[in-house]
Amino acid sequence: MAKRDLISVLDVAEDLRGILDEARNLKSWLRSGRVHEALKSQSLAMIFEKPSTRTRVSFEVGMAQLGGTAINLNPQELQLGRGETLEDTARVLSGYAAAILYRAKRHEAMVRLAQAATVPVINGLDDLEHPCQIISDLFTIREAKGRLRGLKLAYVGDGNNVCNSLLLGCSLVGMDMAAACPPGFEPDAGILRKAEKIAMDQGSQIDLGADPEKAVRGTDVVYTDVWISMGMEGERGEREMAFRAYQVNEELLKSAGKEAVVMHCLPAHRGQEITDDVLDGDRSLVWDQAENRLHVQKALLIRLITGGFSTMEPTGTPI
């Protein structure tokens, strides 16, 4: 069996419905108290070049619930910190673990590690994409709304890795997406072109602009992220000025659909990109969104490591 990596959302385009169905089944199994050891005696090596809460904990807990082990590796405690190449590290870890989770500062490093590894490599975030987050987000939206195709998601804020992966994810499942970003903070141009092409094939629409009110008008989902991503702390003053009009608050939500829900991938800077009353309000899916990382990571691990689905065949639940 050829190894499968998850570097981009596009890497699981053909498996997406199956992964979402698997995650739903795994969530149901867990809540019913059933044990599911699909990865018994398997190990996941995890390298984090940036801090992590949800990604690290969901993968660690997920591997434990599936009967396996996750090993957290600080780059400064590895020989990477003393000059060993990514390629050599990838080859060594491939001999120990069934898969490698990597949170990288640079997308180029993610690609290098994946090319050298002989086991699946999972992108736990880099500066271009955050695929695990967005696959989980799609699961959360489908869980709340009963479907994905034909819905509209509005993203308000920085055109960062989360925005990039949302563009690809929404286009794959036939969702419309509008992104409102300040001039100079738009999503990656190459990602945008790919998303527009996929959306055209799926009969959906991608709209990029600078007006938050226009973006959220009539939308089903309002999504935001931090204004200052990890590694960009030196741009704090410039970014806080540029994003001042891009806060998700009750006033902005007046333009959204009556049944619109709010999402944030966390961590949140309360009072900046989102207000307390919205984050903790009745429309917020943020805490479901965070929990669902666990169920979706488990589905991804099973699919990438075993090559199959463990619980049952997809049931026809609509994308």
Active site residues: 103, 130, 133, 225, 265, 293
Q: How confident is the model at residue 311 (pLDDT cuts 50, 70, 90)?
A: low
Digit-coded pLDDT (tens) for 203-248: 999 999 999 999 999 999 999 999 987 677 777 878 999 999 999 9
- In 74-171, at which residue ranges do the beta strands (DSSP E only) sit? 99-103, 121-123, 152-156
The confidence score (pLDDT) of residue 314 equals 42
Query: 266 in helix, strand or coil?
Result: coil
CA distances in angstroms from 90 to 113, 118, 132, 160, 203, listed in the order given = 6, 8, 20, 27, 40
Q: How far apart are CA 16 and CA 64, in angstroms?
A: 24
The DSSP code for 150 is T
Nearest to 136 by CA among 12, 255, 32, 49: 12
Quick one: pLDDT at residue 81? 62
pLDDT at 83: 78
Confidence class for position 39, pLDDT limits 50, 70, 90: very high
Task: For the chain, report the end-to-end CA distance as a whole number of angstroms.
Answer: 27
Name the residue with tokens 């009353």: 277
Domains in the chain, CATH or no CATH each: 9-129+292-306 (3.40.50.1370), 133-289 (3.40.50.1370)
pLDDT one-digit tens code per residue, 134-160 = 999 999 999 999 999 999 999 999 999
Average pLDDT, stretch 40-44? 97
Q: Which of residues 35 and 13 earns the better pLDDT score? A: 13
Q: How far apart are CA 115 and CA 90, in angstroms?
A: 9
Q: What mean pLDDT do residues 265-290 have?
A: 97
Helix (H) or strand (E) holding 45: strand 43-48
Residue 277, pLDDT score? 98
**Cα atoms found within 13 Å of the Cα of residue 314, Cβ hemisphere only:** 15
What value, to the nearest 5°, has the Cα angle with vertex 161 and ends 231 and 238? 50
What local confidence, expressed as pLDDT, does residue 317 receive? Answer: 64
- Minimal CA–CA distance to 195: which of 222, 221, 173? 173
pLDDT in tens, 268-280: 999 999 999 999 9
pLDDT exceeds 50 at position 285: yes
C-beta separation of 79 from 87 below 8 A: no
Q: What integer pLDDT is reported at residue 92 of this predicted model?
A: 96
Residue-averaged pLDDT of the chain: 94
The predicted pLDDT at position 318 comes to 66
Q: What is the mean pLDDT of residues 280-307?
A: 97
Average pLDDT over residues 161-174: 98
Q: Which residues pair with 121 in a beta bridge?
A: 100
Cα distance between residue 24 and residue 19, in whole Å: 9
Higher pLDDT, 311 or 110: 110
Mean pLDDT of 20-46: 93
For residues 109 and 78, give the distance between their C-alpha atoms in angstroms, rounded to a whole number: 16
